[in-house]
Amino acid sequence: MYQGQTEFLNKSIATPAADRSGMNEVREEKVRVWPELVLRETIATLAVMIPLFLFSIYVAAPLEEVADPSFSMNPSKAPWYFLGLQELLVYFSPWVAGVAIPLIVVLGLMAVPYLDVPGGSARPGAPYPAAGRLGLLFGAGLALWLLLTMVGLYFRGPNWGWQWPDGTPFRMEGNPVELAWLPALVAILYGAGLLCSRLRRRADGPAASGRLRPLLVHFLILTGLIVFLKIVLRNILDFLR
């Protein structure tokens, strides 16, 4: 035994109970790869794959006829996993619907673990803080995407017009409402709400220093509000005419 090891052992034995309990807490936060982590991943994989396997057995997915260059279908629908994007092109320009919005969604999902959302509650031992409002935003975005997919699949007919699932067209007259002023209005109202909230916090107590993370969170929330409100308001106004 080396000379320094004796002193180290004596110090470790004389370590206070509080320090040793803290070390134990740190050790308890770790999870073994086998069997805890691998078992949970296996169960999650089976829970997803078994319903998909049964769905593929009992639900037919026949291929359509060979494409004919001399004939163009009306409507010409994309595969189901792109129908939400095709429906989004009804409400926004191709650059916004096909490039800007998907890019913001992908970058926002990548940034979720690094965004410290005010008001988010973290579970003890969780690797990242709870997303809070940002998690609700992306959950609502996923629900909206599924809704757009269902609309494009069952409620779009010739010339991409509204129709019932049995093929009966809706009676809608006139050009669709564009709502070009909506993004600016939503941005102004959202900015006014943030300003009032910040002034109220200053009146109640010292304001927190500015950070980049809250700006990114507010940008994602504002983008989601603009997309959601434009889709909903345009459809409501079109059906009320």
Query: What pLDDT is stored for residue 51 in this prediction?
Result: 94
Which positions ≥6 away from 78 have C-beta within 8 Å?
Answer: 85, 86, 152
**Predicted TM-score of the model (pTM):** 0.64
Per-residue tokens: 164: 């019932």
What is the DSSP secondary-structure string of 9-75? HHHHHT--HHHHHHHHHHHHT---IIIIIHHHHHHHHHHHHHHHHHHHHHS-----PPP-TT---SS
> How many CB atoms neighbour CB 117 within 10 A?
21
For residue 85, the number of C-alpha atoms closer than 13 Å in the C-beta half-sphere is 16
Rounded to whole angstroms, the Cα distance separating 115 from 107 reads 12
Rounded to whole angstroms, the Cα distance separating 138 from 149 reads 16
| Three-state DSSP state, 169 | strand
> Which of 119, 127, 143 minimizes the C-alpha distance to 228?
143
Query: What pLDDT is stored for residue 220 in this prediction?
Result: 82
> Which burial class, exposed, middle or buried, applies to 197 when counting CB atoms under 10 A from its CB (0-12, 13-18, 19+)?
exposed
Sign of CA dihedral 132, 136, 137, 141: positive
User: CA-CA distances (angstroms) from residue 123 to 23, 108, 111, 120, 128?
Assistant: 20, 22, 19, 10, 9
Rounded to whole angstroms, the Cα distance separating 229 from 179 reads 10
Query: What pLDDT is stored for residue 201 in this prediction?
Result: 64
What pLDDT tens digit does each residue of the chain (241 aa) get? 445 444 544 544 444 544 444 444 445 567 778 888 889 899 999 999 999 999 989 888 777 778 788 888 888 888 888 999 999 998 888 898 889 999 988 888 887 777 754 444 444 544 444 456 677 788 888 899 999 999 998 888 888 888 888 878 876 666 677 777 788 888 888 888 877 777 766 655 544 444 666 777 788 888 888 888 888 888 887 777 6
| Three-state DSSP state, 152 | helix
Per-residue tokens: 117: 């959302």
